[in-house]
């Protein structure tokens, strides 16, 4: 597991951990993208989505990068960076790359996880995909700007209660491209490609594919 932080080292003061704001506005993209899941996402539940236990605060901070299959319905990645915790879908929206093996870098003043497969850059706070655009390729010198493709990676809310870290799944019914890799078919493919598949990995590969809704997942409780 990588999630190596290549930005300036953060302060060792861990007094507070805040969750990041999220944005889910629909956008179009001219970049290569993953095929959307065959079935449309179900509408968001009317009842509030429940929080899911991730781990102890100090353990998550020490690990800086934690993956979890949330109650058999969502593979998520929880990251600690510069005093804040962020959560998003574990696999990159572009081709399903394992984001837990990526590095955290800063681009245009925004912290991003860089996919280890194709170097796609995803903001930690919003799940936006960033890219460099050239205004006029025929003019010299080239003028390069950072631009956003919009929200491509589903991000989730992180909270802390009595030293325990929880994630509340983003149950928006809007299709986000990283949803394509939260399917039974992709989990099974991932399992078959593993050199040493464990029983737990097999159990995860058989999980029912869903969009995150409060009705599908029960609250995960911390172990005593």
Regarding predicted confidence, which is higher, 3 or 18? 3
Q: Which of 10, 198, 190, 183 is nearest to 89 (CA)?
A: 183
| The predicted structure's pLDDT at residue 25 | 37
Number of Cβ within a 10 Å radius of residue 80: 24
C-alpha distances in angstroms, 213 versus 42, 45, 172, 177, 185?
8, 6, 8, 17, 20
Interval 158-186: pLDDT, tens = 999 999 999 999 999 999 999 999 988 88
The answer on pLDDT for 214 being more than 60 is no
| The predicted structure's pLDDT at residue 206 | 39
| The predicted structure's pLDDT at residue 196 | 59
State the number of CA atoms in the 13 A half-sphere of 201 facing the CB: 12
Is the entire prediction scored with pTM above 0.85? Answer: no
Say how many residues make up the chain.
224
Q: What is the mean pLDDT of the segment spanning 203-223?
A: 42
Taking CA 129 as the corner, what is the angle to CA 73 and CA 191, rounded to the nearest 5 degrees? Answer: 35
Q: What is the mean pLDDT of the segment spanning 201-220?
A: 41
Taking CA 145 as the corner, what is the angle to CA 92 and CA 83, rounded to the nearest 5 degrees? Answer: 55
Q: What are the two backbone dihedrals, phi and then psi, of residue 52, each rounded to the nearest 5 degrees? A: -120, 130
Query: In whole angstroms, what is the distance from residue 224 CA to residue 211 CA?
Result: 30
Q: What is the mean pLDDT of the segment spanning 181-195?
A: 77
Residue 28: pLDDT band (50, 70, 90) is: very low
Interval 127-156: pLDDT, tens = 999 999 988 878 888 888 899 999 999 999
Interval 49-97: pLDDT, tens = 789 999 999 999 999 999 999 978 899 999 999 999 999 999 999 999 9
Interval 91-135: pLDDT, tens = 999 999 999 999 999 999 999 999 999 999 999 999 999 999 988
Structural domains of the chain, with CATH: 18-205 (2.102.10.10)
In the 8-state DSSP scheme, what is residue 126?
Answer: T
């Amino acid at each position: 597991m990588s999630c190596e932080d290549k930005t300036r080292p953060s302060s060792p003061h861990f007094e507070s951990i805040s969750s990041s704001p999220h944005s889910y506005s629909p956008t179009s993209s001219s970049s290569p993208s993953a095929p959307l899941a065959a079935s449309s996402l179900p509408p968001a539940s009317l009842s509030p989505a429940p929080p899911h236990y991730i781990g102890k605060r100090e353990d998550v901070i020490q690990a800086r990068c934690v993956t979890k299959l949330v109650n058999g319905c969502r593979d998520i990645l929880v990251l600690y960076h510069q005093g804040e915790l962020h959560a998003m879908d574990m696999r990159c929206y572009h081709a399903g790359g394992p984001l837990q093996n990526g590095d955290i870098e800063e681009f245009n003043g925004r912290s991003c996880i860089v996919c280890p497969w194709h170097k796609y850059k995803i903001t930690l706070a919003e799940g936006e995909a960033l890219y460099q655009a050239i205004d006029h390729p025929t003019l010299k010198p080239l003028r390069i700007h950072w631009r956003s493709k919009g929200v491509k990676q589903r991000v989730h809310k992180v909270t802390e209660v009595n030293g325990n870290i929880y994630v509340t799944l983003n149950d928006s019914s809007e299709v986000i491209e990283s949803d394509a890799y939260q399917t039974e078919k992709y989990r099974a493919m991932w399992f078959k490609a593993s050199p040493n598949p464990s029983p737990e990995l097999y159990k995860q590969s058989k999980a029912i594919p869903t969009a995150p809704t409060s009705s599908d997942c029960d609250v995960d409780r911390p172990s005593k």
